[in-house]
Amino acid sequence: MTPDGDASATTGRSASEPPGGAVSKAEGAAAGSPDDRTPGPVATTPTAPAAASGGKSKAGRNLPAALAVGLGLGLSLIAILLFVPKILIGVIAVAMAVATWEVAKRLREADVLVPRIPLLVGGQAIIWLAWPWGAEGVAGAFAGTALTLMVWRLFDHGLRATPRNYLRDTAISIFVLAWVPLLAAFAILMLLADNGNLRVLTFMILVVCSDVGGYVAGVLFGRHPMVPAISPKKSWEGFGGSLVFSVIGGLLTVTLLLQANSMIGVLLGVGLVLVATTGDLIESQIKRELGIKDMGTLLPGHGGIMDRLDSMLPSAFVSWLVLTALL
């Protein structure tokens, strides 16, 4: 969902790579030790055309699968928003539980002990308490869960064992709590406002506009890397495409759907692209440090739920902030 012409440009995720110099297990096994490698015959089988490799696009992902999944999810969410908007709260709750589990699983694979039970339960409290009590419910649930995570991790090894890496694990746990369920709660706060379903629909349309603009411009014109140390395939041309499409989308949706000043749409479009790009870069760096490509495998062509939401979550916060302040 970011300006890079790679998978992230349309899926809300970035095709991150292992840290520089790192060799994957598969590569290591194939290479072997210096003593294991012996000369062998050179393969002469022609390389299959790139277009035939699993239907992958120039951006390096399974484009048909990604489009099918994205279209199905998008149409389902639009139908929910137009006909049964309150159901979206349950959809968000389920998605955040899965996304939190994906992140916690990957962290624990890297020996970061994230307390999964309080993180999952507290995340659900943040989501559901937004419905009756709004921002106060969200803030209270977040504070209570953060305190619970501190205490839980303190005694995670029992009463007699000395905690190891307590500060690191606790800080990362609270980061995950803020990164996933807290940011998602702002979509619910938008939904509960006047014309809330149209506000959320506006936010979703702008995310898609940013996504499509970044992908098209990145693939067709991407030449200048944006942040090569974090995500080598992201380009300034893709960023420009995201910006143009998102601003146009903001002008149209804010004017036609929300019946508001068009300049609010411009501000919303610019702000959304900035935070969406930042959110995607954050997840790219996290995945690089963990040495993984995707957070999960649930969505074909996209990765996991969190790979789809990495730029949408901060965009939900900015959309809520702009629309609440200016409408």
Predicted confidence (pLDDT) per residue in 113-159, tens digit: 999 999 999 999 999 999 999 999 999 999 999 999 999 999 987 77
200-259 residue pLDDT tens: 999 999 999 998 999 999 999 999 999 999 998 899 999 999 999 999 999 999 999 999
Predicted local confidence at residue 66, as pLDDT: 64
Q: Once rounded to an integer, what is the mean pLDDT over residues 155-181?
A: 91
End-to-end CA distance of the chain: 26
- Residue 26 is assigned to a structural domain of this protein: no
Predicted local confidence at residue 45, as pLDDT: 43
Share of the chain above pLDDT 90, in %: 67
- Residue 36 is assigned to a structural domain of this protein: no
299 or 325, higher pLDDT: 325
Beta bridge partners of 303: 299
Distance CA(43)–CA(213), nearest Å, equals 41
Q: Is 59 helix (H, G, I), strand (E, B) or coil?
A: coil
- Residue 143 is assigned to a structural domain of this protein: yes
* Closest of 209, 187, 205 to residue 196, by C-alpha: 187
Q: Please, what is the Cα angle at 20 between 8 and 292, to 5 degrees? A: 50
- Residue 235 is assigned to a structural domain of this protein: yes
- Give me the helix-helix angle, 116-154 and 166-177, nearest 10°: 150
- Residue 181 is assigned to a structural domain of this protein: yes
- Residue 33 is assigned to a structural domain of this protein: no
- Residue 150 is assigned to a structural domain of this protein: yes
250-293 residue pLDDT tens: 999 999 999 999 999 999 999 999 999 999 999 999 999 999 98
Domain residues for the domain of 202 are 61-72+83-326
Predicted local confidence at residue 5, as pLDDT: 47
Q: What Cα–Cα distance (Å) separates residue 243 from each residue in 17, 39, 228? A: 25, 52, 20
Q: Is the pTM of this model over 0.85?
A: no
160 or 50, higher pLDDT: 160
Residue 108 scores a pLDDT above 90: yes
Residue 9 scores a pLDDT above 80: no
Q: Tokens in use for 83?
A: 């006909």
Domains of the chain: total: 1
Beta bridge partners of 62: 56
Predicted local confidence at residue 51, as pLDDT: 40
Residue 42 scores a pLDDT above 60: no
- Residue 50 is assigned to a structural domain of this protein: no
Mean residue pLDDT across the chain:
84
Predicted local confidence at residue 64, as pLDDT: 73
Predicted local confidence at residue 57, as pLDDT: 52
Strands 231-235 and 225-227: antiparallel
> If phi over 0 gives left and psi between -120 and 50 gives alpha, with beta otherwise, what is residue 95?
alpha
